Amino acid sequence: MNTATRSRFRGAATAAASLATLAVIGLAAPSTAAAYDEPAQARSASRASAGAERGSGRYYLKFTKNLEHPDRSTLSLVHNGFPVKTYRAGSGLGVTDECRSNKGWLPNGTYQVTGHQTNRNSKIKGYAIQLSDKKCHPKPGKKAVTRGALFIHSEMTKNGGRGSTEPTRWDGDKDYKSNGCIKLHPDHIKDLFSRLENHWPDLTLQVG
């Protein structure tokens, strides 16, 4: 090995030793890959998280009570925390005591949607969404009761019409009153069904 070659090796070794020393005391500059790899991973994770949130497709219903005018409460279809559509709705006979069976509006809380029909033919006819039972929140000294047979429905015929001769037709503001169920205008419940076509599984209702 000639003198020039030995000199180059000594220079390279000295530079490597210096870099190692700087690295030990924390003064060495990171390589290009090290400098950008972590932020790139963070950006990728952030995009993945945002994508998962957008793609989660979570829909639920939210009934917002109007304490002054129970028959002017609202029912909203919510997607990922944002209302998609809001309808006027009513519950109860103007009584804001949720423990008054057949008179008070439905209790606060979260309900499971247990079924839905477009041709129900009982006391409730036509479009109907069945809800799970819910125990009420009684005032001090009062006993809690479980409210059952709760639906989101309207006033229509068994085939979803308003009807001109049947007793289940829609008659205006008074039809927003109920024995505890949530009541919607016939056109509004049909619109709601059209928006829920692919979102019935695991659908819930939040009341408050």
pLDDT 10s digits, 28-70? 433 333 332 334 333 333 333 333 333 357 999 999 999 999 9
E strand segments, 122-181: 125-131, 134-135, 146-147, 151-153
Name the least confident of 4-8, 35-39, 102-106, 137-141: 35-39
pLDDT over 90 percentage in the chain: 65
Contact 180, 102 (CB under 8 A): yes
94-to-99, 137, 176 alpha-carbon distances in Å: 13, 18, 10
- Tokens representing 94 are 């103007």
**3-class DSSP state for residue 158?**
coil
Q: What are the domain boundaries of the chain?
A: 3-55, 59-207
- Backbone phi and psi for residue 151, each to the nearest 5 degrees, phi listed first: -140, 165
How high is the pLDDT of residue 122? 95
pLDDT digits (tens, 9 = 90+) for 120-176: 999 999 999 999 999 999 999 999 999 999 999 999 998 887 655 554 478 899 999
- Stretch 186-193: mean pLDDT: 97
Ramachandran area for residue 47 (φ above 0: left; ψ -120 to 50: alpha; else beta): alpha
Q: In CATH, what number does 59-207 get? A: 2.40.440.10
Tell me the H-state helices in the chain.
Answer: 3-25, 32-55, 186-195
